[in-house]
Amino acid sequence: MPENRIMLDVLKGHKSCPPPLWMMRQAGRYLPEYRELRKKAGSFLDLCYNPDFAVEVTLQPIRRFDFDASILFSDILVVPHALGRDLRFEEGRGPLMTPISAADIGRLDVSNFHQHLAPVYETVKRLRAELPAKTTLIGFCGAPWTLATYMIAGHGTPDQAPARLFSYSEPEAMGRLISILADYSAEYLIRQIDAGVDAVQIFDSWSGVLDEPGFEAFCIAPVAEIVRKVRAAHPNVPVIGFPKGAGARYAAYRDRTGVEGLGLDWTVPLPYARSLQEGGAVQGNLDPLRLVAGGRALAEGVDAILSALGSGPLIFNLGHGITPETPIAHVEAMIRQVRSFSGR
């Protein structure tokens, strides 16, 4: 493995100045070349499952911006899809699924899981061959709780009330679902690593809606199991956890899951982020809307993060995914500012 994949050094706890930089959802709708390819693909799932399309989409932001890391283009919901659940994406509505019942959980079809995801593994193999040697390739999965929220409601909701209610009214079924998702998500990440990714990230986009017992049962415990299984198979591959909205529970999440990198959303106060950095690398946490606004709002946001966190192991990123309306010129300005950072 080349020594100049600086993001991997940072994930091991080393400081880099300037810090490595990438963006969540960096391959996506803010890029005209993505929108053009999306028209040719026919559907979002065709983009995900066709290696020719998925490789091209993943490479687009690397060609344009030369980010330090490239994240596999796919979607978190390919895991429940590979377990036999229906899935479609509608413009303006996002992902749609038939809501799962307690009885349905025992009927999840695991027989073709890896065969279903074979195009994703092929995409990873091609990417590692085509990416610059210096570029870290990141694989990913959705965390079990976040996957369960979509499977139970059948779509995204403001506070994931259907999944929370299901966890209270059907605790045994919820436990089975979370366990299945943890097992197969771990297998999915291991196969991505086998195919060539350098690091993996676990996205828990809805961790912030849970109470304390729920956070322990549905966020910390299953992610810890995923990390354990991934580390048993690939002990030197770092895992980044992103429990969006975890707030004061970020420290417990890191300590009890064992993730090397901690992704921070934009609401995390920088003094608290600095204390979290004492336990290892942190990633984030620019508000994506500062990137939309540009100008002073962007410059001040970037400077605050670099000033607070630039003296420790930092991977500069957004506090959530880039939004479609983001001007490319603002992305370029952010990159220039981060890469001109010389330390304090």
- The Cα–Cα gap between 241 and 205 comes to 10
In single-letter form, the type of residue at position 192 comes to: Q
Q: Do 292 and 23 touch, CB atoms closer than 8 A? A: no
Q: Which of 5, 34, 49, 75 is catalytic?
A: 75
- The Cα–Cα gap between 80 and 178 comes to 11
Q: Which of 29, 64, 176, 256 is catalytic?
A: 29
Instruction: Tell me if residue 191 is catalytic.
Output: no
DSSP 120-180: HHHHHHHHHHHS-TTSEEEEEEE-HHHHHHHHHHSS--SS-HHHHHHHHH-HHHHHHHHHH
| Contacts of 216 by beta carbon, 8 Å cutoff, 6+ apart | none
Instruction: Tell me if residue 228 is catalytic.
Output: no
Q: Which of 121, 150, 188, 250 is catalytic?
A: 150
Q: Which of 25, 85, 249, 254 is catalytic?
A: 25
Instruction: Tell me if residue 75 is catalytic.
Output: yes
**Residue 328 CB neighbour total at 10 angstroms:** 12
- The Cα–Cα gap between 277 and 225 comes to 23
Q: Which of 5, 30, 38, 49 is catalytic?
A: 38
| Contacts of 193 by beta carbon, 8 Å cutoff, 6+ apart | 139, 200, 230, 233, 234, 237
- The Cα–Cα gap between 250 and 266 comes to 13
Structure tokens that stand for 174 in this block: 């919820």
Structure tokens that stand for 121 in this block: 């593994």
Q: Give the Å distances, CA to CA, from 243 to 1, 209, 229.
A: 29, 11, 19
Which positions are catalytic? 25, 29, 38, 75, 150
